[in-house]
Structure 1
């Protein structure tokens, strides 16, 4: 069994994020200086693959208007972990957090991007646990 280290997973994710793994809704605004932009959902799923816990979902607001959703993790210990929070550099806020159930099987949306990000992380860390 591979001993998983959060720091190593974080580093592997950060070097793996790219325009081709960004959410199509956010792709026009993706840039290398903010690589976490549009990566939250598939990043949270990979963290969930490795550490389990809950998936969290909140609404993103800017200037009083909702601009999509944001995903992060609640680890089994109860600690909330958000590896993509730094993407919000324009004053966005995340509200209305709630636990969501992980979609079973292949994701109905962003499956290819998830598999691509997962493959890149595997290149850095070796095999990962199978998706939950």
Structure 2
């Protein structure tokens, strides 16, 4: 088995993001395009990264022009380094505020289960077997 690194994980995620794994919210899914593949993938990407590395899930509020436009998810690794593999999706001056650590949702996921499983499956095709979630 070849050891993984963050570049391999990032490449596997980028090759796996698609319209069918994007958030189903009408405005988000309508905004997904291959030129901005991270769009609408922060929540399930953070879960896959958490499956592999553990640590904490982080969430913050997305603001644009003084209005909240949803939430953004990323990871805090056990080393306390914060890792955000989807931050690039915000290309119009959005800001992330009110960051906090949250408990991983229980299994089965109450929301976005099918997209999460599909993303996990695609990433595993690139990296090999993924560890099972700790929860």
Measured against the shorter chain, the TM-score band is over 0.9
Match of 1:44 in 2: 46
State whether residues 54 and 75 of structure 1, in contact with CA within 8 Å, keep that contact through their aligned partners in structure 2.
Answer: yes
- Displacement after TM superposition at 1:80 (Å): 0.4
Q: Secondary structure at the match of 1:97?
A: strand
Q: Which runs of 4+ in 1 moved over 6 A?
A: none
Match of 1:9 in 2: 9
Q: How does the TM-score come out when normalised to structure 1?
A: 0.97
Aligned ranges 1:1-132 → 2 under 5 Å: 3-25=3-25, 26-132=28-134
The unaligned stretches of length 5 or more in structure 2 are: none
- In 2, the alpha carbon distance for the partners of 1:78 and 1:126 equals 26
- In 1, the alpha carbon distance for the partners of 2:126 and 2:51 equals 16
The unaligned stretches of length 5 or more in structure 1 are: none
- In 2, the alpha carbon distance for the partners of 1:11 and 1:106 equals 27
* Cα deviation code 1:83-119 (max 9, x no counterpart): 0000000110000000000012111000000000000
Q: How does the TM-score come out when normalised to structure 2?
A: 0.95
Cα root mean square deviation, aligned: 1.1
- In 2, the alpha carbon distance for the partners of 1:3 and 1:103 equals 28
Number of residue pairs aligned between Structure 1 and Structure 2: 132
